[in-house]
A and B are shown apart, each in its own frame.
Chain A
Amino acid sequence: MNFEVLEHTADIGFRAWGPAFENMLAAAAQALVSIAVEIGTVRDAEPYPIAAKGEDRESLLVNWLNEVLYYVDGRQVAFRRFDVKSCGEWQVSGIGWGEPRSEAHPAKLIVKGVTYHQLSVTNCAEGWQCTVFLDI
């Protein structure tokens, strides 16, 4: 598990990391899903293609997470894991592996949106890490 959940007075956030930027995006998506849904029993049964682009690293991260959130809250999908690939400057395409949400994996929190508040994306010795806060 390449993430940890953080707290903020009114809301919730996470720190996620990975050896490459794309791995960090996958870990961040996993963090978001685990905050929103009880993922204990979710199977990686079906592939859901998810793509995002931005103007820089930060907006790519926020837009990517917003795409994932749309699948979780709008399309009612729960994910087990993500594969992410770069496909151009500030552009990624990925596959979220999961299944339609059911009573077996109930919602934990309704995430309203992904914010830029105290957002950080850094390159460190171990690879990449980001901090993101969510409005709930």
Chain B
Amino acid sequence: MQLHRLDEWRVRIDRDERRGMKTHVIAFASEPILSQIRKDLSLEQAMNVATLPGIAGPSLAMPDIHQGYGFPIGGVAATDYRHGVVSPGGVGFDINCGVRLMGTTLTEADVRPRLKETVDQIFRDIPCGTGGKGPFDISPRQLEGVLSRGAPYMVEQGFGETRDNEFSEAGGCLQEADPDAVSSRAKERGRPQLGTVGSGNHFLEIQTVESIHDEAAASAMHLEPGRIVVLLHCGSRGLGHQVCTDYLAEMGAAMKRHDIAVPDRQLACVPVQSPEGQSYLAAMRAAANFAWANRQCILHLLRGSLRKLYGAGTHVRVLYDVCHNIAKREKHVVDGVKRDVLVHRKGATRAFPPNHHEIPQDYKHIGQPVFVPGSMGTASWILTGADGAMRETFGSVCHGAGRLLSRTAARKGRNAREVQDALAARGIIVRSETRDGILEEIPEAYKDVDEVIAVVTGAGLAKPVARLRPMGVIKG
């Protein structure tokens, strides 16, 4: 594979690298990051994405890219909304997996002496891990409300505060979601799981603001050193997984009808405007609304936990909520022409610059907040979208540190107790349902998040606002 280095932060794979590519690939990667990326098939997958019918602009790879299924994780691709395709693989099984960051009225001085008690309380109150059941026993009718109206519906039902969804991508609800496009199986799989974090790399982390890198943006977000924030990473649980499965199964036959061939079956896609494409998008939006409602329910439980410990005067507010597995209809300028496109963000976060009309009023002058969690026990970052993202990446940046080791390799030769003790010696308390849950997410299993941040900020896609240090981790 011929890689052309464009500058310190960008490499390009030309369109003629392989037959069938309709566009080139741009990967945002420094040399150290690139050497890690080249250890797996992620760049080949980005080249496969470049073959999608109706792709607009380049196939993009973020610095946290790693091998996924069909699409690489950390991939962005826009397709023409009228003449292009939609690919469920470009969204993934965990539809609207995302991150919600919550600010609190607590400081590190309040929480540090009671950290163990705090982590234990949250671990008791918020279902995590492989246990399938949440405390929200919603009726099938309420589930329809969740699927149509997302997080704001849960607030109406009494599980939140009025302003919670003002600070969320799409206000916590995608319009044109159709609960009827979601199979009864998906509803059956998802309904008991509302209000659960799930397993794998999903987590809830108590963090403190370690350093501020942009005073104006930090002030707009009420952030200051020593302030306690809580970062939640989870998605649409079994409901989203089943929606993806159902539509992938349908698309094989539909692709034949539409005469579409792709180099990897997991890239199955259909025209956006076909009945199958429209039906998938309506179901995907409903699953995205389920994910936002899920994060809303967890916020409600978190408020309960913190008020039990620190009193009724403890406030928790949503700083922002972003999804990183989604396909969204947006307007972008491609080669000088304004186009109507469907942006697939698979393990990538929307990052709109200041003054974009989709940013809430309080943040309009700073740009859309973006959260980049590091691995367990390492720093996370708050960024804001910058103009470069609009010019080069359809308003998108990275979503995390990016996995380096397989789960088996991460477990090998390590003992969960020792990992927990080593983190405790650094002032970090970890709780998990299983020992494997801790071992598989060790810091060594991931790339260095600071290096990933250096690339996206160096390339002008986003600006750093604050670095967050973990104190308590609740692992799925």
Contacts and interface: CB of A to CB of B under 8 A. Distances in A.
Interface in B65-91: 66-70, 73
Contacts of B241: 73, 112-113
Categorize the interface residue count of chain B.
35 or more
B200 interface: yes
A114 B407 contact: no
A93 interface: no
A59 interface: yes
B118 interface: no
Nearest to A106: B130
A135 B93 contact: yes
Contacts of B436: 108
A116 B129 CA distance: 26
B74 to A, nearest CB: 11
Given A10-B68, A70-B242, A74-B238, A107 B185 contact: no
Contacts of A129: none
B252 A55 contact: yes
Contact of B265 (A10, A63, A69, A119): A119
B188 A8 contact: no
Interface in B10-24: none
Interface string B176-198: 00000000010011000000001
A74 B67 contact: no
Categorize the interface residue count of chain A.
20 to 34
Nearest to B187: A74
Interface in A1-60: 7-12, 55, 58-59
Nearest to A54: B252
B215 interface: no
A109 interface: yes
A50 B241 CA distance: 20
Contacts of B253: 55
Given A108-B130, A116-B266, A136-B200, A74 B189 contact: yes
Given A73-B238, A113-B244, A9 B40 contact: yes
Contact of A7 (B66, B266, B406): B406
A133 B409 CA distance: 16
A68 B200 CA distance: 20
Contacts of B188: 74-75
Contact of A114 (B94, B245, B408): B245
Given A74-B185, A76-B132, A115 B249 contact: no
Nearest to B403: A10
A115 B266 contact: yes
Contacts of B92: 135
B158 interface: no
B405 interface: yes
B199 interface: yes
Nearest to B412: A7
A11 B265 CA distance: 18
A106 B40 CA distance: 33
Contact of A66 (B129, B245, B266, B409): B245
A87 interface: no
Contacts of B268: 116
A117 B266 CA distance: 6
A73 B191 CA distance: 12
A8 B406 contact: yes
Contacts of B94: 112
25 contacts: A9-B66, A9-B67, A9-B404, A9-B405, A10-B66, A10-B67, A10-B406, A12-B407, A62-B249, A70-B242, A74-B185, A74-B238, A106-B130, A107-B130, A107-B131, A108-B436, A110-B199, A113-B241, A113-B245, A114-B245, A115-B266, A116-B69, A116-B264, A135-B93, A136-B199
Interface of B: 40, 66-70, 73, 92-94, 129-132, 185, 188-189, 198-200, 238, 241-242, 244-245, 248-249, 252-253, 264-266, 268, 403-409, 434, 436
